[in-house]
Amino acid sequence: MLTIEFDNSYARDLDGMYLPWQGAKVPDPAMVWLNEGLARDLGLDPEALRGPDGLAMLTGSAMPEGAAPLAMAYAGHQFGGFSPQLGDGRALLIGEVIDRTGNRQDIHLKGSGKTPFSRGGDGKAALGPVLREVLIGEAMHALGIPTTRALSAVTTGETVWREVPLTGAVLGRVASSHLRVGTFQFFYARQETARLRRLADYAIARHYPELSGAEDRYLAFYHAVIARQMALVAQWMGVGFVHGVMNTDNCAISGETIDYGPCAFLDAYNPDTVFSSIDRQGRYAYGNQPVLARWNLARLGETLMPLIAPEDPQQALPEVQSALDAAETRYATLRRKKFGAKLGVTMAGDALIDSFLDMLTAQSADFTQAFRALGRAARGDEGPLVAHLNRDPRLADWLDSWRPRLDAVEGMDAVNPVYVPRNHKVEEALNAAQSEDMAPFERLLTALSDPFTRRDGFDDLETPAPEGAGAYVTYCGT
């Protein structure tokens, strides 16, 4: 028996902001992967999740008692263009639970069938992208980066068509909420200010409870979301993560990374790197992410103006603008701290950081390996670093300016991972999984679950794709 103690605050408090909905029936559900540790943290019994009731819930086809499945309404700027109605087109919020640490968590499905928000889509997901979200989300979690996490991957027994026939699957996902900038935009665009206020108060109570009830809480909330988003992007930059589709509907109010579609990690360092097939202008290139995060936050700011200054929303403009200006400064500080830690220098200035990154760009050096080699250089073994930088003529001078400033060598290996989800290794694991061989996936997941510790026998997971493998391309809407 699957019994879950749900406490569905979204369904209870935000009526009118979602549609109660059921998932599609699926012919032959089978568990491909279950995050047993996460299940236990949520107070869910892994055995029950593997049983018929669990599979029914994790595909959306039948819900246990106490669930309140619903499709959330949201809008969003996609690549800069506003869509007033997106919403959960292939997803469902099953309900919320309070986890072992006392935090409220959404249990959510992706690929559970059409909803009234589906527009032209089929409401489905394929196994490859579902497992991709598992791998990359778990990698991010282990890297210490706020993220939604995968709970389960269940195949449905159906074929999903994406130009070619693919194995259908549903992802079970856990998040501290699915509130997005786009959720606010949905009600702002409709000028539904009362609902917008209810939504903001809900978001404050859920994510920033220390602000609840304060007179200036909407502006304080704005500052708080900005702080979390800037911290998040600084973390992404520090591991070479390219989100790929930073639309406002994929920007979480909680500050967690959400929506692992076309994301990927850098191999060779270059700020212009784009992986997504549809990002032709490079809007969401690696180096643009801090700017685009602020662009998204500007959109959030617009929606909060009627709450900050109810009499005349325009009066809130200077405060919103100055919060955004502060975001830029805040990011610059966070970047210095993050990249300083990677360099082993507590108070690194931009010049030291930028000149190192410029060498990486010039030499197309592997981002992850170069920083790990820097740790070895800090401990006296400069050989690997010199090799990664192809004896760049600027290296000797750079080392001379860096060495005397090294004061945090001990921490370097704890911020410079050995393992990130290498694109070719992710593809290899997903291809094998398509043929029902989960061994490469499990092996990769093992390394990614403890990314700062080198393991024997995993050398192939440390290196980029062999030269000549061609540019890596990822796809949206899969």
Point out the residues that are catalytic.
249
**CB of 387: closest distance to Mg ion in angstroms?**
41
Distance between CA 406 and CA 382 in Å, rounded? 14
133 binds Mg ion (CB under 5 A): no
**CB of 86: closest distance to ligand AMP in angstroms?**
4
Query: Which of 29, 54, 87, 255 contacts ligand AMP by CB under 6 A?
Result: 87
**Looking at beta carbons only, is 147 or 250 nearer to ligand AMP?**
250
**Looking at beta carbons only, is 70 or 204 nearer to Mg ion?**
70
19 binds ligand AMP (CB under 6 A): no
259 binds Mg ion (CB under 5 A): yes
416 closest CA partner among 331, 470, 356, 333:
356
Q: What's the distance, Cα to Cα, between the start and end of the chain in Å? A: 33
Q: Which residues pair with 252 in a beta bridge?
A: 180
Site string for ligand AMP, 97-116 (x = CB under 6 A): --------------------
Interface residues for ligand AMP in 251-270 (CB under 6 A)? 259, 261
Q: Which residue is nearest to Mg ion (CB)?
A: 259
Query: Which of 116, 213, 411, 477 contacts ligand AMP by CB under 6 A?
Result: 477
**Looking at beta carbons only, is 249 or 413 nearer to Mg ion?**
249
403, 377 contact by CB (below 8 A): no
| Sole window of 195-203, 256-264, 299-307, 431-439 interacting with Mg ion (rule: CB under 5 A) | 256-264
89 binds ligand AMP (CB under 6 A): yes
Radius of gyration for the chain, computed over Cα atoms and rounded to the nearest angstrom: 23
From the list Mg ion, ligand AMP, none, partner contacted by residue 208 (C-beta under 5 to 8 A by kind): none
**Looking at beta carbons only, is 89 or 464 nearer to ligand AMP?**
89
From the list ligand AMP, Mg ion, none, partner contacted by residue 86 (C-beta under 5 to 8 A by kind): ligand AMP
**Looking at beta carbons only, is 118 or 449 nearer to ligand AMP?**
118
**CB of 289: closest distance to Mg ion in angstroms?**
16
Number of residues located near Mg ion, criterion CB under 5 A = 2
**Looking at beta carbons only, is 91 or 151 nearer to ligand AMP?**
91
**CB of 403: closest distance to ligand AMP in angstroms?**
45
Provide DSSP, 423-457. Answer: HHHHHHHHHHHHTT--HHHHHHHHHHTSTTS--TT
Distance between CA 458 and CA 430 in Å, rounded? 18
Distance between CA 31 and CA 54 in Å, rounded? 10
235 φ/ψ sector (left φ>0, alpha ψ -120 to 50, else beta): alpha
Q: Which long-range contacts (CB under 8 A, 24 or more apart) does 299-304 make?
A: 299/77, 299/181, 299/185, 299/248, 300/181, 300/184, 300/222, 300/225, 300/248, 300/251, 301/222, 302/188, 303/181, 303/184, 303/185, 303/187, 303/188, 303/196, 304/184, 304/200, 304/218, 304/219, 304/221, 304/222
Distance between CA 187 and CA 76 in Å, rounded? 11
32 backbone dihedrals φ, ψ, rounded to 5°: -100, -35
Beta strands 104-110 and 125-126 are: unpaired
| Sole window of 88-96, 190-198, 315-323, 377-385 interacting with ligand AMP (rule: CB under 6 A) | 88-96
374, 340 contact by CB (below 8 A): no
51, 171 contact by CB (below 8 A): no
Interface residues for Mg ion in 301-360 (CB under 5 A)? none
Query: Which of 61, 152, 183, 250 contacts Mg ion by CB under 5 A?
Result: 250
From the list Mg ion, ligand AMP, none, partner contacted by residue 87 (C-beta under 5 to 8 A by kind): ligand AMP
279 binds ligand AMP (CB under 6 A): no
How far does Cα 244 stand from its chain's mean position? 10
**Looking at beta carbons only, is 207 or 243 nearer to Mg ion?**
243
Distances (CA, A) of 456 to 424, 447, 451, 459, 460: 20, 10, 13, 7, 10
**CB of 244: closest distance to ligand AMP in angstroms?**
10
Three-state DSSP class for 169? Answer: strand
Residues 6 or more apart whose CB falls under 8 angstroms from that of 384 comprise 369, 373, 376, 377
**Looking at beta carbons only, is 34 or 71 nearer to ligand AMP?**
71
Q: Which residue is nearest to ligand AMP (CB)?
A: 121
265: enclosing H helix or E strand? strand 264-265
Site string for ligand AMP, 116-155 (x = CB under 6 A): -xx--xxxx-------------------------------
Sign of torsion over alpha carbons 333, 336, 342, 345? negative
**Looking at beta carbons only, is 155 or 368 nearer to ligand AMP?**
155
From the list ligand AMP, Mg ion, none, partner contacted by residue 245 (C-beta under 5 to 8 A by kind): ligand AMP
**CB of 111: closest distance to ligand AMP in angstroms?**
8
476 binds ligand AMP (CB under 6 A): yes
Distances (CA, A) of 416 to 103, 120, 218, 235, 339: 29, 43, 37, 12, 10
Query: Which of 177, 250, 273, 363 contacts ligand AMP by CB under 6 A?
Result: 250
Which spans of this chain sit near ligand AMP (rule: CB under 6 A)? Answer: 86-91, 117-118, 121-124, 245, 249-250, 259, 261, 476-477
Which spans of this chain sit near Mg ion (rule: CB under 5 A)? Answer: 250, 259
